[in-house]
Amino acid sequence: MIRRSLLILTLLTPLLTALGSQPVLAQESDGADAAALNLPPPPYEDRLLRLAEILGSIQYLRNLCNSEGETGWLESMQALLDSETADEPERRTRLTAGYNRGFRTFASVYTTCTSSALVAEQRYRHEGATLIAEIVARYGN
């Protein structure tokens, strides 16, 4: 089953190389969504969860190492969440938790911008771009 997020994944690729920083995503809880259909997760679910962690990690590192931020980062992650988990609150919670886990993991390690933080951010951007390309190539059409 191909989901709407594949289009958004292709739009996220440029953001992996862009500057940007925003606060950690807040998890939403809507009781109306609790009765949503129990759809099986897409075959790329593990990759998408890893991408969420990577985005959170990059978010923190970019915020740490760059005082100027762009709102496009968080907006794109939010759009990914909205399109991928529209009627699946459990998946939304998992993806949000992945993003927050990535953010907090680096927050516990780096308190100042260092050369190793810059290298980590670059490596995570590369991994994220690779994941996006794999998901789109394999499941896009």
Instruction: For residues 28-40, give the mean pLDDT.
Output: 53
Instruction: Answer whether 8's CB lies under 8 Å from 79's CB.
Output: yes
pLDDT at 100: 94
Supply the pLDDT for residue 9: 55
d(CA 108, CA 93): 22
Specify the range with the lowest mean pLDDT, choosing from 1-5, 19-23, 111-115, 135-139.
19-23
pLDDT of 35 higher than 50: no
Average pLDDT over residues 71-95: 84
Asked if residue 123 has pLDDT above 70, the reply is yes
Query: What average pLDDT does the chain have?
Result: 77
**Residue 70: its pLDDT value, please?**
56
Closest-CA residue to 93 (of 125, 133, 101): 101
pLDDT in tens, 90-121: 999 999 999 999 999 999 999 999 999 999 99
Instruction: Give the residue extent of every domain in the chain.
Output: 5-18+48-139
Would you place residue 68 in the very low, low, confident or very high pLDDT band (cuts 50, 70, 90)?
A: confident
CA distance 133 to 128: 9
The whole-model pTM stands at: 0.75
Q: Under 8 Å CB-to-CB from 61, ≥6 apart: which residues? A: 106, 110, 117, 118, 120, 121, 124
